[in-house]
Structure 1
Amino acid sequence: MPAKRERLARRRRAAGLTQEQLAELLNTDRSTLQRWELGNTTPLPEQQRKLARALNVTAAELADLLEPEHGNGSGSTTERVAYALQHPGGTDMATVAQLRQQVSDLDERYDRLPSTSLLADTAQALGQIGFLAKYARPSLRRDLQRVEATAATLLGQLVWDASQRRDHRTARHYFEQAGRAARQVNDPVAEGHALLRRSYLALYGEHDPVEGLRLTEHAAAVTNTASDVLTGLAQLHSAEAHAMLGETRRCEAALAAAETSFGKVTSADAAANLFSPTQFDRLAGSCYLFLGNHGRAQRILDDAATAMTAPTKSQAVVLGNLGLAYLHQRDLDSAVASLHDAIDVLKTNRGGGGLNVVSNAVRKLRRWRSEPAVQDVYDRLFSLMTAQ
C-alpha cells in the first residue's frame, strides 16, 4: 500500500486551498490531485512546475513534499533538523523546507487551538531557524530569513494571547524581529503582516487608535502591489481605528477601500491563507459598535456569526461583539445567549482577543447581576478564566 504524501496535503491546506480549488488552478481533476496526495501516482514534470507555482514553493521544496511519509512523518523531520543543528554548515534546501512546513503547520493551527499549546514549538522553531541562518550559505540564509519572519510574527501573537494581551513589550519585540527579517529579503508580504500584527497591539492592547492607524496605513502601503489580502486587512483595521476616533466618513471610506481590495483577491495571492469571506463583516460590525450604531452593528455581526461554523478565536470575538451590540439595545436575552455561545468557543481555544471582548461585555452586565441568566454567564466566565 503506497504511503500518503501528508506534507503535500499540509502545504495545500497552508496555502488556503481545498483539493477542488487547487485542481481548478492546475486545470486537472480533483481525483488526480487526490491520487497524488494518497501516493498512488506522481505528477508529471509539467504538472510539477504548475503545482510548485500554485503552492508557492521551489522545485526542490516540491520534490521534498512529494516524498512519501511513513507513519506520521515526524521522525524524518526531526532527524533532518537535528542533523542540521549538529552540522549547521551542511544545512540544505530540504531542511529549510521542513522548517518552513513546520512553521506553516503551527500557523495554520493558530486560530483553532489555545496559544499556550503552540508557544513552545514555535519558540523552538524560531531559535533553530536563527541558529542555522548564522552558518547557512547566502542563498539558504535568505530562505531561512523568510521563514524567520513568519515564525517571529506567529510567536509575537502567541505570546500576546497567552498573556491575555498584557505583554505588549515581548510581542512587539517579535513583530519587529519579523519586520527586520522581511526587509532583509525584500518580502513586502511578510513585512506587511508583521506591521499589521503590531497595529493590533496599538488598537486592542494599548487603546491607541492614532498609532494603530499609522501602522495600518503603513502596512497597506507596503503590501499595496504585493497582496490584495493584506492590503484589504490593513484597510479594514484602518477603518476600525477611524471608528475608535469617531470618524464615521473616514471609517466608511476605509471600509469601501477594503471591499475593493478583497474583490480583487485570487487564490494566487501570497497571503491567500489569511483571507476569510467573513472578515469584512467581522470588522465592519466592530466599526459600527465603536461608532454607536448598535443596530447596524448587530445585523452585520449576526450575519458574520451565522456564516462562521468552526470554533475559532475569530468566532469568539464576533460572538462577544454581537453580545455587546444586543446589550446596547437592551436585548438582555439575546446578549446572554451570544455570550454563552462565545464562552463555548473560548473553552476550546482560549482566544486572547475573544476573552477580552467577552470580559468587557460581561462587565457591562453588572447592573443585571441579580438575574439568574446573567449570573450563569458570570460563573461560566469565572470558571473559564480560573482554569487557564
Structure 2
Amino acid sequence: MASKRSRLIQRREAVGHTQESLAEAVDVDRTTVGRWESGRSAPQPWMRPKLARALKLTVDQLADLLKAPTTAVEDVPRTAPVRRTNRDIDLVVAVTADSAESAWFLRFASASNVDDTLLEQIDADIARLAGDYVSRPVSELFHDIGTLRRGVFDLLRGRQHPYQASHLYLQAGRLCGLATHVALDLGQYTAAATHSRTAWRCAESAGHNGLRAWIRSVQSLIAYWQQDHRQAAELARAGLPYADSGTIAARLLSLEARATAALGDTESALRAVEAAETARSTVAAVDLPGVFTFPEAKQWAYAGTALLALNSDRHVNHAIAASSRAISLYESGPRQEQSSGDLLAARLDLANAHLAHGDLDGVQEKLSVVLDAAPDRRTASISSRLRALSARLSEPVYAGSPIVLSLRENVREACSRPALTNPPELPQ
C-alpha cells in the first residue's frame, strides 16, 4: 500500500536526499522526517520554509505535497464533461462534481503556514527588539532584526487566512521599520529609504494607520539628516492624517517643528512645538514600546533642537530649559528606557546653547560627556552634530582661545574614530 505522502517521498528522492540527509538539512531528527512521510504528523508552520528550500520547492508546492490523498468524489475533474443517457443521473453526478470543486476550494482557503500562537510569538519578539533598540547598541540587534524579518517574509510567501496575512504584513512592516532605523543610525540613507518604502507597502497591505504614520515619521528623519528640511517637514505633515492613537501625533509634530526651524520658519516651528504639547496631553494607549513610542523626554529633546535652531537669545534660553528637562526625564526613568542617542543629542544642544551665550566653560562641560561616550553609542546623527559644532568652533570669533582650540582638537579626534560598529552585509 502506498505511503500516505508518497509524493513527498518521491520529491525527497528526486533532489537526492535520504531521510537522514534531509533531517540534517532542516535540523530535525530522522524519525521526524519519517513521521512526516508516513502522514503521522506534519511539519510545524515555522519549519515549512526551511523544508521547502531543502526540497527546492515553494511553500505552496510543499503544502500541496503534504495534503492527504483526495477521495474518489473529490478527484472528479472539475472541468470534465459528464455524459449520461439518463438526465437525472447526469444531474446527480454533476452536482457531486460541483461539490468536489467547493471541497477543493475549502481545503485551499483553510490551509495556512502559520497559526495564532506563532503570530503571538513574533509579536513578542518584535516588542522585545523594539524595547532593546532604545538602550542597546545597534550591532547587538542587527542580526536578530534581519533574521526575524526574513522569517516573516518567508511566511508571507506561503498561504494564510486573510486575517493572518494582514497580521504578517503588519509584523513585516514593523521589522522593516526597525531595519530602517538601523540603516539610519549608521548613516546609510539609501538603505534606510529602501527599507522604509517596503515598510510603507506592508502598512498599506495591513491597512494599519498607526504603522503608516510611524513610517512617515522615520522617512521625515531620513530627509532631515540628508539636509532636505522642506521634505522632512512635508513627510511629517503627511503622516498626521494617519495618527489616530498613541504618541505618534506628538512625534510627527515634533519632527515638523525641528524641520521648519531648520528652514528658518519661526512661526511654523513654534506652532508645531505647541501642537506637540497639546497632542501629548491627549495621548491614548501606546501601540508598541521602545522605538515605536515617543516618550516625553524625547519630545523635549526635539523641542530643544528646534528652539535652538531659531537662533535668538529668547529661544536659546527656552532651548536650554527643554534640553535640560529631556536629560532629567531620561535619567530619572528606567535604565532600559534611557536612549543614549537622545541623551547625547540633548547635551550637544546644550553645548551649542552655551556657545551661543559665549559660555565656553559650559560648552566644555557638556561636550566632555559626549566625547567620553563609547563609540558604539554614537550614531551617524551624533557624528553629524559633532562636525557641525566643530565648524562653529572654527569661526574667526573664537580664534586664539585656548579652550576652543582644545575643544576643536577633542572633537576632531572623536570624529576620526569609527562610530557605531557596522554590522556586516548591511543590505542596500
Compute the TM-score of the two structures, normalised by the length of structure 2. 0.65
Deviations for 1:183-232, whole angstroms, at most 9, x for unmatched residues?
A: 1111001111111100011112x211211111000111221xx2241011
What one-letter code is carried by the residue in structure 2 that aligns with 1:279? K
Q: 1:311 and 1:387, CA in 2 relative to 1: closer, same or farther beyond 3 A?
A: closer
Question: Where does residue 355 of structure 1 map in the other structure?
Answer: 383
Match status 1:150 vs 2:174: yes
User: Structure 2 unaligned runs (5+)?
Assistant: 1-42, 52-58, 64-112, 332-337, 422-428
Kindly indicate whether the alpha-carbon contact (under 8 Å) linking 1:192 and 1:222 is maintained by their aligned counterparts in 2.
yes
Maintained 8 Å contact 1:239/1:287: yes
Aligned residue for 1:279? 298
Equivalences for residues 161-240 of structure 1 within 5 A = 161-162=185-186, 165=187, 167-204=188-225, 206-223=226-243, 226-240=244-258
Within 2, Cα distance between the matches of 1:113 and 1:81? 31
Tell me the equivalent position of 1:298: 320
Distance in 2 of aligned mates of 1:157 and 1:146: 17
What RMSD, in angstroms, separates the aligned Cα atoms of the two structures?
2.5
Mapping 1:44-123, distance limit 5 Å: 83-86=47-50, 90-123=113-146
Q: 1:352, CA displacement in angstroms?
A: 2.8
Residue matched to 1:54: none
Query: Alpha carbons of 1:232 and 1:387: their partners in 2 closer, same or farther (altered >3 Å)?
Result: closer
* 1:82 Cα deviation from its structure 2 partner: 5.3
Please tell me whether residue 308 in structure 1 is matched to residue 324 in structure 2.
Answer: no
CA deviation profile, 1:68-103 (whole Å, cap 9, x unmatched): xxxxxxxxxxx9785243355532222222222222
CA 1:295–1:188: 2 relative to 1, 3 Å:
same
CA shift, 1:373, in A, is 4.5
Residues in 2 aligned to 1:320 and 1:84: alpha-carbon distance in whole angstroms: 50
For each residue in 1:275-323, what CA deviation from the matched residue of structure 2 results, as whole angstroms up to 9, or x when unmatched?
3121332111111111103233223212222332246211111111111
Q: Quick one: percent identity of the two aligned structures?
A: 17
- Which AA in structure 1 matches 2:411? Y
> Structure 1 311/244 Cα, relative in aligned 2: closer, same or farther at 3 Å?
closer
What is the aligned partner in structure 1 of residue 278 from structure 2?
Answer: 260
Show CA shifts across 1:30-76 (max 9, x none). xxxxxxxxxxxxxxxxxxxxxxxxxxxxxxxxxxxxxxxxxxxxxxx
Which residue does the alignment assign to 1:243?
261
Going from structure 1 to structure 2, the CA distance change for 1:362 and 1:114 (only over 3 Å counts) comes to farther
Q: Which has the larger radius of gyration?
A: 2
Closer, same or farther: CA 307–80 of 1 in aligned 2, 3 Å: farther
Aligned partners of 1:103, 1:368: CA distance in 2, in Å? 52
Query: 8 Å contact 1:189–1:271 — kept in the other structure?
Result: no
Alpha-carbon shift at residue 258 of structure 1 (Å): 0.9
**Contact 1:227 1:271 (C-alpha < 8 Å) held by counterparts:** no
How far apart, CA to CA, are the structure 2 residues paired with 1:161 and 1:362?
20
8 Å Cα contact 1:313-1:345 kept in structure 2: no
Q: Which moved more, 1:337-346 or 1:149-158?
A: 337-346
Match of 1:321 in 2: 349
Q: 1:25 maps to which residue?
A: none
Distance 1:359 1:321 in 2: 13
Mapped to 1, the partners of 2:419 and 2:230 lie a distance apart of 34
- Asked if the contact 2:213/2:248 (under 8 Å) is kept, the reply is yes
Amino acid at match of 2:294: F
Q: 2:287 aligns with which of 257, 270, 283?
A: 270
Q: Shift of the alpha carbon at 1:250?
A: 1.4
Q: Assess if the C-alpha contact under 8 Å between 1:199 and 1:211 holds in 2.
A: yes
Segments of structure 1 that go 5 or more residues without pairing to the other structure are 1-78
